Structure 1
């Protein structure tokens, strides 16, 4: 496709901090890189004080914010100011039903800029009042957005929406699976993402301790530890300190996996997790929970095993099954890789959003005039 003479500027609005590991921010980065060659400039407005250098395809606009009860309101107001003041912007693309997203959508509507909302997952409310507020916010942002997108059919259903377009998350598909040089003599579990309770890490530790009495299987984690004190205490209490290797954030984590590894993600809630797709794209069999869009790609008995949320015993049984059936597990990994390559590639994701953006920009709105406006200054905070 021919590249536009004047780049189209897409401003993404994300509530997740720039300094924190986030699948949503990672997806924005992948999309920005893929679309850069097709005439798109991408900006990411998100909380944080990022010192990371700007890539040629993505400019991060940090929104300094302190932890407080008014954090979300302050974040929303500052995001509104960024979107309303900066010229020119062609499309505002917000993520999640968040107060910040509402602010970005309102600012864009005032300016006559087309908008996109992507729903990645529906968070679980902790009280009836919070559930009512979340539902009201969800309905409002969906109504305000020119286009509403869900990352999976099951995510759309979980949000109670039937009139939204589904654009599946996508990841790079390697020509050959990345592999560590040395193969392990016994299966190893791999966990990638935030090492935190909502990702099921403590359930995984309990299951690993159960398994350890039968088969001494190890676990390697890639990602930041949210509560290092509680996590260390759990490993010590369960006698797993020698069985678990925590590497921290490692962008090249897939290069440290091998063909006998099993990817495990026993999350309490998810959308369509990128780490899961990346593991499957690299041919790893999977054990996961049937949350969000996960069952659309982890087909029980074909590409992996699904276990109930918080079910230590069933998770332990699934781990033991993978260890005892290594040929079957490898076949699951191969089929999973085929499914991800067919339906969840970064190329498919980029083409879908490029088509959506170009369709929105053909609508006669002020954004068309902005696209052809003169020199484009960097976004201001």
Structure 2
């Protein structure tokens, strides 16, 4: 990336920062024009994925991505729910996703594909692509991983979906941000559809509410991954029966919480006594990286040894990444803010971290923060789906106010207006992060407790059983389990 972007790009970035004063219709029209300026010849580029670069200038480094779990560290023994009754009817379940590359919803779909067979399910993952629009590279990392493990997958198009579904004859579809044309096919063929509400982003604008009410008439049941998501959905679609929306919190996959040696991970990043905040998040408006960097500037001014490391892909919105990069470069603490790309070894980043931080506008149930807790890392997180359950009593970190205000009422107009503007939670986020730094000794001594509690609370088997119970009930027309309404996990 050049220090002085081309004139067209500078104009695009300036226009984005002024967009809040423009009427919404003109803003949408202008947004399409600005997105055309994210091509490589306009001077935009993603963050570096070179993990041999140290976070501290001049420090020696190692190969972070080559670090492996500690020898002898086995998969944690998660608490298991009651065993499935012997002789239960076998369920043929199509697990439907859209782009099968990387992402929280796709990880949950893959987890179910791998594990539902233990509940007498036959599964196949159906998907419609491997790359997001504008995404570089081959994509399809999860699709390839599942195929390598022997998990059945099927690429479908609108032209062949009905033929495939008639041939395979699923008893039920478990949907994870799947395409609506697949719902059309399932409804036409009478295959019941269970929607998994991973988050509410597609319903954060009033114009989407009435189409969703019509769409939901074809949905047999819905699984909300957090109680906040359940509340948000029913507030926007009050006509949908509340007893058909069941809360099933996500669990943490045991393979994703193995421990990497902390000393080796920190040495690989060139760290000694610095306090490292890690945020594993895509560079996009939802994750609010711009707001996080803004708040961290206050933390850095008070704590000279604090560092922020953000790791995630930027291809969703290169202009957003560039805005964030330029903000970080303009700050006095620029050398302590590290905006990196995807890391193939997130376990090593969590091992090196002193705290995990999210300043998101919305989540459904963050897998990244849950995995941080299971690695023994305390979390600072905005009030989004899953935050209240994960950080209920303050023993595992801090929930701070949502940057858009009341979490139940978050919507796109408010989020868009706050994209590059001052946010009300800045002082509270600064206070929580500063508290983490001041109390570093206590949190460091608590890493094993944090890990043990997370493993107990976020059992993947409990989550698996919750999905299995809903899918089986819908497949065979049985009563659904009672919806969970807990506000926290004890």
C-alpha separation in 1, matches of 2:295 and 2:338: 16
- Aligned mate of 1:210, from 298, 318, 323: 298
Residue in 1 that maps onto 2:188: 110
**Could you give the per-residue CA deviations for residues 196-247 of structure 1, whole angstroms, max 9, x where no partner exists?**
2321211111122222222131122221124243232122112444223344
Cα offsets for 1:145-185 (capped at 9, x unmatched): 22221111111111126321111111124786444334541
Tell me the CA shift for residue 300 of structure 1: 5.4
In the alignment, what sits opposite 1:187?
Answer: 275
Conservation of the 8 A alpha-carbon contact between 2:310 and 2:338: yes
Asked if residue 277 in structure 1 is aligned to residue 365 in structure 2, the reply is no
State yes or no: 1:95 paired with 2:173.
Answer: no
Q: Is the 8 A contact 2:195 2:223 kept in 1?
A: yes
Tell me by how many angstroms 1:259 deviates.
Answer: 6.8
Aligned residues: 343
For the pair 1:263 / 2:338, whether they are aligned, the reply is: no
Q: Deviations over 1:335-367 (max 9, x none)?
A: 554443233221212222223333344449xxx
The reply on whether 1:169 has 2:277 as its aligned counterpart is no
Q: Which moved further from structure 2: 45-54 or 349-358?
A: 45-54
Q: CA RMSD in A?
A: 3.2
Q: Does structure 1 residue 155 correspond to structure 2 residue 209? A: no
Give yes or no for contact 1:121–1:270 (8 Å, CA) kept in 2. Answer: yes
2:200 counterpart residue number: 122
CA 1:297–1:168 in structure 2 vs 1: closer, same or farther (change >3 Å)?
same
Alpha-carbon distance change, 198 to 361 in structure 1, aligned in 2, over 3 angstroms = closer
Give how far 1:110 is off: 2.4
Which has the larger Rg? 2
Q: Which runs of 5+ in 1 are unaligned?
A: 65-76, 365-381
1:322 aligned onto 2:403: no
CA distance in 1, matches of 2:160, 2:201: 22
| Aligned equivalent of 1:341 | 455
**Normalization by structure 2: what TM-score?**
0.62
Tell me: CA distance 1:361–1:84, structure 2 relative to 1, closer, same or farther (3 Å). closer
The gaps in structure 2 that reach 5 residues or longer are: 1-83, 132-138, 267-271, 404-422, 479-490
* Residue aligning to 2:386: 293
The Cα of 1:267 is off from its aligned counterpart by 0.2
The answer (yes or no) to whether the contact 1:11–1:45 under 8 Å persists in 2 is no
Q: Matched residues in 1 for 2:161 and 2:210: separation?
A: 20
1:250 alignment counterpart: 343
Check 1:111–1:268 CA distance in 2 against 1; reply closer, same or farther (3 A cut): same
Deviations 1:300-326 (A, max 9, x none): 532211222242222122211111112
